[in-house]
Structure formats: C-alpha cells, structure tokens
Structure 1
Amino acid sequence: MNDDSRFDEPTRRDYLTYGAAAAVGSLFAGCAGQSDSETTQTGTPTESGTPSTTEADTAEPDTSSYEVCMEPNGCHTLDAVPEKFMVYHQGPVDMVIALGQLDGLVASAFPSTFPTAYFDQLPGVSVDMEDVTALSEDGTPDKEVFYELDVDMHLIGHHPAMEYFELEETDIAELEENVAPFHGSWMRRPDYTDGHPYYGLYEGLDKYAAVFQSQARGEAFRSLHDELVADLTSQFPPVEDRPTVAYLNTNYWGDGKTVYVRDPTVPGYQTKPLRDLEIPEHDPFAGQYPAESNFIQGDYELLLEVDPEVIVYHAGMNVLRDPEKSFENDILGPLRDDPVASEVTAISDERVYPYHEFEQGPVMNLFNTELLAKALYPETFGEPTGMEAPAEENQLFDRQRVADIINGDF
C-alpha cells in the first residue's frame, strides 16, 4: 500500500503512549541517542560541542574507514562513502538530495509521487526520479529485490523495514550479512519507534550527513533554517494578538464529519514548522490532548465550541498535489456546506489552509515553513500560494542559497 495515499488516518499506533517500550526494542543495541531538541552532534566534535565543518564537502572524501551510529540499530563501520543506497520515505529522500547525493539513490518507496515541484523552484537543481526503482508502488516487494538492487547501504531502520517489507529480524540480519547494513530511523512522528531516542529533522540529517561525510552541507542547511525561523518569529505579534490555530484532519473518513485535532507539540519533522512558528502557544486545544494519544477525536460541534480562527489542514499539500483530489471540493466544500461547521470562524472567514507534506527533509521544510508563515500572517508575509512559487519579492528564503548548498557551491 502507498503509505502516503492514506491521508494519515490515525492507526492503532497513534493511540500508544509515546515512549512506551515494546518488547522488540530490547533486540536492538545502539549508541547514545538524542532528543527532539535538534541539537545533536555528528562527525568530529569541536570544543564547543558542535560538529566540525572545517573541511568543505567538495573536497575529496576521506577513504579511511569510519563509524556511523543511529538508533535503534546501533553502529556500522564503513570502509568508504556509499555509492549506491536505498531509502523508503520522501523525507529521507529530501535529506539525501540536500546532501548532494541524488546520483546514488537507486530505490525508494514511491518515486513517481515525489514532490519535485519544490525542487523545480531552485535554480540549477534538477530532481529526476525516473530511474529510481519503486519499492512499494506495486505492493510489498519480495525480499529478493534487496539482492537484485545490491546497494552499499539501506538507509532504512529495522522497524520500518519490518513494517513495510514484511521482514522478520532474521531477514534483516541475513540481508545485512549478504548485502548491506540497514541504517535509518523513523522520524516523521512517534510511530514505529518503540521507545528508542527520537530524532528531529536536523538530528536525522546529521546522521545521514555522517554516512556521506557531507557534514558541511548539513550544517549549512541547519544555519539557513535557523536564520529563517528567527527572522519570521521576530516579526510575529505578541501571543495575545495571534490568531488561534487548530491543526486537524476532518471530513475524510467514515461519515465525513469526524474531526481529528492533532497535537502540534508531538515531536517529529511532520510538525516541526508548527513548533518552530510557535503555534502551540496559541493552540485553542492546548491542554486537552489525552495522554494516551496525539489527537482529539470529536465532531463539528466540538470545532464550533472551540471556534479556531485559523485551521491548518494536516497533510493538505498531499491533497493539493493529488490529481484525483481537490482541496477546494473534497476538503473545503463539505465544511462550508455543513450548517454547524460553516459557523466556525476559520471556515466562515475562509482561513482553512493546506499544510505540509506527510514527509519533509530540509528542503521541503523550508517551503512548508514559508507556506505556514504566510497562512498565519498574510498581512506581514504575503498570501500563501500553495504549490505555486510566490513572487520573488514575497519569497521568505533565498532559493539560490538552497541550490548552492545542494550543489556544493557554498
């Protein structure tokens, strides 16, 4: 099944308390993990504790062996930078593109639906997924595909590999022995993690940068992101003057009138722009999320009772890009036509916005952060333009700088 076509309907795992260790977690030995603080260190530490980036990524890579570590599957010693590798989700695909490694990507889950439109806005950057093998577009792949692809590294963690490829731990051990290590971690949100330390977007990027010995690119993206967030938040009004914002799914499953209000404080790169732009500080549902899940399930009456001034729609960019769906007709239409939902301020004022991809690495994160800032404060940053590029004067980050980092020209 295409994981990114289900519009992220809450699953059984969503109801599990984050941090509850499952028995399978004891199978994995690992090195020290990180929190979602986005302050991990990878590579050679300096005296200040931050990664050293004194050598440019464009220099010849060190050909001596080196160790890379990533929870929950421990450490691997590499004799050389991997030339061929596979990933699963779009977020890690974004990461390897950001690190200048697209040429080595031989397989991913759904390459035909990868959102290349973001990268099309970057001068001098071309992302062509035509020759990337689709792992899951035609269903669950047979284990033999791993032998056929014969990569140097599977940038996929054990948990997702078992979930999406129907592999057992013994299968993974076999493939690691005969093909290549599995080195990855689930980072979208706290699913498939079974209590191991959780990586934020830039923590995960640091880990992949270590694999490719491209720490300078990773640090350049971190700096660009931090500058963007600092610039945007410096222009925000006081919290009491900000619009109340609900982050939700609604009118897609069942009777079409069930509302899932998602907790924006949940760690993971899926919610990172929400947290970066301080939405939890003016979330009208704050304090109401049950401890055992990361969302509130309710109906239109609940939405009207809380009456948010803005709604950002979970995974709305996926709907916007889906040729078989219409955000206007499938999402907004039923809300406007319902006698209760239509009274909600955000809906009556037409302030319901598609927000984020299911997956995002550092490049899509910049676009999603820009889009969210425009949705919240159009009078300051300009109206959001969805998948269309805003006019150059209304762009909130430098596209050329992003392209330069990807191309190693920095």
Structure 2
Amino acid sequence: MSKDYPDHKSPTRRDYMKYSGAAVAGGLLAGCVNQSDPESAPSRTDSGGQSSATAEPTAGDDGYSVTMSPAGTVEFESVPQNVFTILGHHVDMLVALGRGDAINAMHAPGYHQSLYQKFLHRLDGVSIDWEDLYSSWPPSKEELYELDSDVHIADPAKVATAEGWDNSSLREIGSNVGPWFGNTLSGTHQDPPSGWSDTYEYYTLWEIFGKLAEVFREGERYGAFSSVRDSMMETIAAGLPPEGDRPSAALVLFSTSGEDVWGYKMNHPGYYAAHTRPLGATDALADAVGDGYGDDGRNITLDSELLLEADPDVLLVLGPMAGSHNLDEIRSQLENDEVTRKLTAVKQGRIFAQGARRQGPILNLFQTEMTAKQLYPDEFGEWPGYVDGGPYPEIPAEEQLFDRQRVADIITGEKQ
C-alpha cells in the first residue's frame, strides 16, 4: 500500500472536528493518552446499574470533547454525519442511536446485514441496507481518504495490527480525514498490541455505547435504551433459580465444513459474554478444559471426545442466525455421530441457535432474552425455536422480556 499522498501532506483537519491539541501533542496514537487509572475509574457491571458514561460531554467555546481509551480525548465542534466503522458492536450502537444511515463502511456488510435483519424484523420501522458498503477490514488508507469520514468509529489499537498500518498512518488519517474513536479489545479483555498496553482501558458494552452516545449527542436515547435493558436484567435477576439448579451449557461454533468445532467462554469478562455471563449458567467447557481454556476468553478447538467430557445440558450454537450454518443439519450431525449422540444436550433436544458474540445494545437485548429462555424455560418461558433462514421468532407479548415497540420508538426517535 502506497504511503505517498502528495495531496494530503499538510494538516487539513476538518474545521468542525478535531483531536484535542493536548492529546495529539501527548502522542495519542503511540498509546500515550491522558487516561485515568482503570482500577479507579467508575464503571458498571453487565448485570445492571447505571453507566458512568451517561454524563454529558464536556462542552466549551470550541464544541465538546469525549474521552475513551485508547483514542483519549477527542474534540468535536459538531455531530459527525458521515461515519466509518469496522466491527459489529460499533455498528449496532450506531443503529441504536438512530445513526444507521450515517454508516459508510463496515467489515463484512453482507454478513452483518443477514444477521441484523433477523432481529430488526421485530422492531417496527427499523430497517438497514448495508450490502453496497465498503468492507473495511483490513482498511485501505486510500479508501479512507475517498470516504472522507467525519469520524472513524474504530479502535486505533486494533487497526494498528492490520498490515500496512502503524502509528504514523493512524495519525495521518486522524489528522487529515477524521479522528479515531472506538474500543474493541474490551470484547474479551484481549491484551493490547505493543505500545498500547500502559494506557488501554477495558469497558463494558454499555459503557462503550454511552461514550458513542456522547459523541453523537444522544444521551437521551442512551438513557432510554439503558432503562429498557436494566428493567429486563432486574426481571432476570429476580427469576434466576439457585445456582445448584442451573444447567451447564457450552457456547460453540461449527466450521462451515463441519470438520472443526470451537468453544467460547460464557462467563469471561468482556462484552462478548454480555448476554451469557449475567445468566449464571455453569460453563461446561471451563470445567472440562480447565487451565487449557486460556485466560483471554478466546476460542479453543474442540473434538467430539472433549465435548462429551464437558457434556453440557444445553448446547448454544453460533452461526445459524447469520445464515452461515443450518441448525437442522448441525442437530442431525450430532445425533448421527457415535460420540456426540451421547451428549445430554443432544439426548434432551436442547440445541439452540445463537446470534453473535460481538454485540451492541440491540443484539444484546435480543440475545439475553433468547438465552434466558433457552437456559431457563420454566422461569422465563419456552424458547419457541429458530427456523433456519427465518427472523427472530415471534414471542407473545406477555412472555417478552423487553418491549419491542419501546425499543423501536427509541431508535426511530418516536419516543424517548
């Protein structure tokens, strides 16, 4: 990738949006940002409580500023209108804030469209059209100049790991096009790349969402969304059975060839587990694999014998709702294998579809409801099942754990 940009060598930062001078001078893209101590920073857990991110952005004569690791403090003189993204959790947050039409790029737009259409089908008036967007991972510097985005909602520490990118490239785009603002490694509390470790801070899903709400001056929408979620979590917390009566479960992904299976931690810190951790089920894989499971919450490769050793009561399968897998075929495969047919989850017919681990507030609401029903049907109502290729199933209003119309109205701006 060429590093020669003769038309963009001089600083041409937009008049209405910029990094704060202090942040740039302090070496923002070298990981040297003015951050508070992560151990003392206020935060909320994924099981409830109000996020500290609901405070209004700091405002001054030149606009307002928002601070989040790893980008640091970023100044805005007006709300961004043209928005670059990469990963799904940021995309989800933008849709939730009523900014879905502002998105000009994302990684694998076809995949995300297929997945989100399943859930948004249940939200009246909320729609997406992402098929023709630029697929942004790994990002092309030339394309970023072409897109001319007001802000890049992407984690600069993550972008720094892409081929052809370094801190100089990040600084160039941040100065000449638009600032970086995003956090990705909080998904599993993954170790940041070299040069970013000292200042990288981890956030919950809802804290990141709150920070993006500050960028887009959507504190009211954020508060309304958080209220819906907190109400659901209060219902779930009150209805959970005692720990000794809870099932064991495993969260898995089958390869499209069917030859490999990967397992994921369900109770690990980070927003990847934001829909499973609060439900408190026993992670069957953690018990079976032990120390070999690793400390970063990332996937492990499974075989039939290891899965049988774990023997989960419930098997949660990623992929079918994105259209990349067929749940009926997976069930048949497990039932016909001489080892996996012995699994408790197979014998009891408790094999269920999941959406995705990289989630924002919309997916988190649906997936938390879905998983609560899959794990605890006696407490929260039977999961009606997912039909391959179809939308998120219809659930009677009295059995819903959150109000669909309320969420749709928040997104479309009808009510907050």
TM-score range, shorter-chain basis? 0.7 to 0.9
Question: Which residue number in structure 1 is paired with residue 100 of structure 2?
Answer: 102
Question: Which residue number in structure 1 is paired with residue 189 of structure 2?
Answer: 190
| Partner Cα distance (2:159, 2:125) in 1 | 34
**Quick check: 1:160–1:192 contact (8 Å CA) kept in 2?**
no
Structure 1 segment 383-394 matched on structure 2, within 5 A: 383-386=383-386, 387-394=392-399
**Quick check: 2:314–2:351 contact (8 Å CA) kept in 1?**
yes
* Structure 1 pair 133–299 and aligned structure 2 pair: CA distance change class (3 A): closer
**Quick check: 1:29–1:73 contact (8 Å CA) kept in 2?**
no
Structure 1 segment 31-50 matched on structure 2, within 5 A: 31-32=35-36, 34=38, 39=44
**Quick check: 1:33–1:70 contact (8 Å CA) kept in 2?**
no
Q: Which moved more, 1:220-229 or 1:106-115?
A: 106-115
Structure 1 segment 66-105 matched on structure 2, within 5 A: 66-105=64-103
Out of 253, 260, 273, which is 1:271 matched to? 273
Q: TM-score, normalised by structure 2?
A: 0.78
- 1:219 offset after TM fit, Å? 2.0
- 1:405 offset after TM fit, Å? 1.6
Structure 1 segment 135-284 matched on structure 2, within 5 A: 135-136=135-136, 140-164=138-162, 166-186=164-184, 187-191=186-190, 193-194=192-193, 195=197, 196-250=200-254, 252=255, 256=259, 260-279=262-281, 282-284=282-284
* Structure 1 pair 123–292 and aligned structure 2 pair: CA distance change class (3 A): closer
Structure 1 segment 319-334 matched on structure 2, within 5 A: 319-322=320-323, 325-329=325-329, 331-334=330-333
The Cα offsets for residues 269-300 of structure 1, whole Å up to 9 and x where unpaired, read as 22111111112xx2334452444553554432
Question: Which residue number in structure 1 is paired with residue 117 of structure 2?
Answer: 116
| Partner Cα distance (1:155, 1:388) in 2 | 31
| Partner Cα distance (2:242, 2:320) in 1 | 32
- 1:338 offset after TM fit, Å? 1.2
* Structure 1 pair 255–364 and aligned structure 2 pair: CA distance change class (3 A): closer
The Cα offsets for residues 67-115 of structure 1, whole Å up to 9 and x where unpaired, read as 1112112111111111111111121111011112223222222333322
Q: TM-score, normalised by structure 1?
A: 0.79
* Structure 1 pair 253–34 and aligned structure 2 pair: CA distance change class (3 A): farther
Residue aligned with 2:239, SS: coil
- 1:254 offset after TM fit, Å? 8.6
* Structure 1 pair 50–152 and aligned structure 2 pair: CA distance change class (3 A): closer
| Partner Cα distance (1:208, 1:119) in 2 | 21
Residue aligned with 1:67, SS: strand
The Cα offsets for residues 18-61 of structure 1, whole Å up to 9 and x where unpaired, read as xxxxxx99921222265799529xxxxx9x967347xxxxxxx9
Question: Which residue number in structure 2 is paired with residue 15 of structure 1?
Answer: none
Question: Which residue number in structure 2 is paired with residue 129 of structure 1?
Answer: 130
| Partner Cα distance (2:300, 2:104) in 1 | 40
The Cα offsets for residues 205-260 of structure 1, whole Å up to 9 and x where unpaired, read as 0111111111221122222112101202312222211212222345x38983x554
| Partner Cα distance (2:110, 2:409) in 1 | 25
- 1:407 offset after TM fit, Å? 2.6
- 1:161 offset after TM fit, Å? 2.1
- 1:307 offset after TM fit, Å? 2.1
| Partner Cα distance (2:189, 2:31) in 1 | 17
| Partner Cα distance (1:405, 1:75) in 2 | 28
| Partner Cα distance (2:30, 2:52) in 1 | 31
Question: Which residue number in structure 2 is paired with residue 51 of structure 1?
Answer: 54
What RMSD in Å do the two structures reach over aligned CA positions?
A: 3.2
Question: Which residue number in structure 2 is paired with residue 407 of structure 1?
Answer: 412
The residue identity in structure 1 corresponding to 2:246 is R
| Partner Cα distance (2:134, 2:265) in 1 | 32
Can you give the 5+ residue segments of structure 1 that lack an aligned partner in the other structure?
1-23, 41-45, 54-60
**Quick check: 1:81–1:212 contact (8 Å CA) kept in 2?**
yes
> Aligned pair count?
363
The residue identity in structure 2 corresponding to 1:146 is L
* Structure 1 pair 235–152 and aligned structure 2 pair: CA distance change class (3 A): same
Percentage of matched positions with identical amino acids: 31
**Quick check: 1:201–1:268 contact (8 Å CA) kept in 2?**
yes
